[in-house]
Structure 1
């Protein structure tokens, strides 16, 4: 399914780090929230518009996904049944990028939680 080591594109990674500075929410937790917001919004990954995953924050999938690992992988497999592991990681990263767009500008934990 998803590879053991995963990363995002540099822009998304920077947005997650800035969000952590303002709210204290770690990148792995905010990426989980962003992923599911993106899925709920109906966003669909397209290989033609995929960005290069050039971020420097490389974490194992257990750290990135935590308790949501099984659900995340099942959602990806159901939505994109024909993707290989690398493409599935790109789809996950695209969903995180899409979902973080609505969350990245919050300056406090209270405004972040109100947005959810």
Structure 2
């Protein structure tokens, strides 16, 4: 399971989430949920990367994941059963980073549907 406090993302991912908020009016936490599942559905998998969680937006697990907390925790545990909570945080951040890259051309909520 993901840690309950202090989840972070890389700076570049946070910046992309902020741009998405300006363009499509989607908050960073909601956009991160969409990005996570887009990444998982695309077949992308985390491979012990050296991702730097150096972003300034530090939120707790419930704020980042909302009603999808259990679904995201279960998905991560299913995909990566041997990882500890800190590594699961990196896996989550990597999936969000990967998914956000596929959402660069989004200009409105309609583009996500």
Which bin holds the TM-score, normalised by the shorter protein?
Answer: over 0.9
Which runs of 5 or more residues in structure 1 are unaligned? none
Distance 1:79 1:66 in 2: 20
Q: How many residue pairs were aligned? A: 112
What's the TM-score once normalised by structure 1's chain length? Answer: 0.92
Equivalent residues in 2 for 1:40-51 (5 A)?
A: 40-47=41-48, 49-51=49-51
Equivalent residues in 2 for 1:1-116 (5 A)?
A: 1-4=1-4, 5-47=6-48, 49-110=49-110, 112-113=111-112, 116=113
Distance 2:29 2:45 in 1: 21
What's the TM-score once normalised by structure 2's chain length? Answer: 0.94
| Regions of 4+ moved over 6 Å | none
Instruction: Give me the CA root mean square deviation.
Output: 1.0
Distance 1:92 1:63 in 2: 14
How far did 1:51 drift? Answer: 1.2
